[in-house]
A and B are shown apart, each in its own frame.
Chain A
Amino acid sequence: GQQLNQSPQSMFIQEGEDVSMNCTSSSIFNTWLWYKQDPGEGPVLLIALYKAGELTSNGRLTAQFGITRKDSFLNISASIPSDVGIYFCAGQLRIFGNEKLTFGTGTRLTIIP
């Protein structure tokens, strides 16, 4: 099945730094979602994007729906320890009766003390 390419695979940063990650696809989507997964937990929805070019914020998080509809970006400003985890992008091509999400490969964020 299709996988979305997410980069970087992992990031090691210091507290207070800004973080950027992106996700690219070979096919278009009409919805992009960003999730965060903590160890032993399920993915938690962070931001949802529905229109090409859309820029949406959720606190220190900002995500953008790429204009080509084949990519999306997530930025985290002024990182804090609780930002540690795995971030997943997910794309969806909404066709009636088929709502499956295709997930990215994940970006593992680690904060160096």
Chain B
Amino acid sequence: DTAVSQTPKYLVTQMGNDKSIKCEQNLGHDTMYWYKQDSKKFLKIMFSYNNKELIINETVPNRFSPKSPDKAHLNLHINSLELGDSAVYFCASSQDRAAGGNEQYFGPGTRLTVT
């Protein structure tokens, strides 16, 4: 069973279009994240939701809008796509714990190419 799944795996689109990426986790976790990995493989947090509530919003253009219909799903909608949005987008999830750290589990990624 896939723990964190994303669709689509690949997304090729033209500048100016609007697109969405979907993420689902079946781990029963409370918190979900979106990360962006650039061409140099650097991973950077974009957003985090805990029980459908936005808790982290890094400096991301407001063309990016996350939506969490329930705690098992976190979707990412991108408006007016730009060339610089080309990257691999990873969804992740973790279980909130009172003590200790929280281990984040990643999906397989969505490779977005904007032409």
Binding site for B on A (CB under 8 A): 1, 3, 30-31, 33, 35, 37, 40-45, 48, 50, 86, 88, 90, 92, 94, 97-103, 105-106
Contact = CB atoms under 8 A, between A and B. Distances in A.
Interface string B74-100: 000000000000000010101010001
A98 B43 CA distance: 17
B43 A43 contact: yes
A11 B56 CA distance: 34
B56 A33 contact: no
Interface string B45-59: 100101000011011
Contacts of B45: 100-102
A37 B109 CA distance: 11
Contact of A99 (B42, B48, B90): B48
A43 B41 CA distance: 11
Nearest to A31: B101
Given A98-B56, A99-B94, A41 B108 contact: yes
19 contacts: A1-B44, A30-B101, A35-B106, A42-B90, A42-B92, A42-B106, A45-B103, A50-B101, A86-B41, A90-B43, A94-B101, A97-B55, A98-B55, A98-B56, A99-B31, A99-B55, A102-B45, A103-B42, A105-B42
B66 interface: no
A66 to B, nearest CB: 15
A109 to B, nearest CB: 13
Nearest to A37: B41
Nearest to B56: A100
B105 interface: yes
B97 to A, nearest CB: 9
A33 B101 contact: yes
Contacts of B59: 1
Contacts of A92: 101-102
